[in-house]
Structures are given as structure tokens and as C-alpha cells.
Amino acid sequence: MQVEESAAVPVLNRLRRAQGQLAGVIAMIEAGRDCKDVVTQLAAVSRALDRAGFKIIASGMRQCLADAETNGEASPMSEEELEKLFLSLA
């Protein structure tokens, strides 16, 4: 399963933003910043990663279903596998 080209750019942008936020969290901890501030930023990183993951999975689901319909074949991933993959982020 590959990420659709139309989804790849926003996913990569989101991941790069999360990478910067995570670097900020590390710097905050090293600087001894307030726990509340650190946790707030860490939660933002977590949400950004979740959103990127959801976008990747949604793209993959669309691609798997479209490929199967186009080729008249069974989907490369079963409905159960797709559901398990999606729920792994929940």
C-alpha cells in the first residue's frame, strides 16, 4: 500500500511540523520548563501524528478499494485487515 501522491505532501508537511514540535518539547524538558507547558506541547505532537496516520490510512483504504474495483479483483487487504490497521491508531 502506497500513500496517494495527493495525500503525501500534506502528510509530509504535518510530520515535519510534528518533528519541529517534538524538538521543541525536548528543548523544553532540557530547559526545565513547567510540566503543564511540556504536556500541552506533547499533546499537540501526538495529535499531529494521529492526523498524519489517519490521512495515510484513509488514502490507503481508498487506493485498495479503487484498485480492486478497477481490476475486478479482491482487495489486497481484507476489510478486517483495513479495520485493524485503522484501529491501531485509535
pTM over 0.75: no
Domains of the chain as residue ranges with CATH: 5-87 (1.20.58.1000)
CA trace torsion 11, 5, 2, 23 (10° rounding): -20
pLDDT at residue number 8: 85
Distance CA 49, CA 70 (A): 31
CA dist., res. 4 & res. 17, Å (int): 20
pLDDT at 84: 78
At residue 57, the pLDDT reads: 81
Provide the residue-wise pLDDT of the chain in tens; the chain has 90 residues.
567 777 788 889 999 999 999 999 999 999 999 999 999 999 999 999 998 888 888 887 777 677 666 766 666 667 677 777 777 766
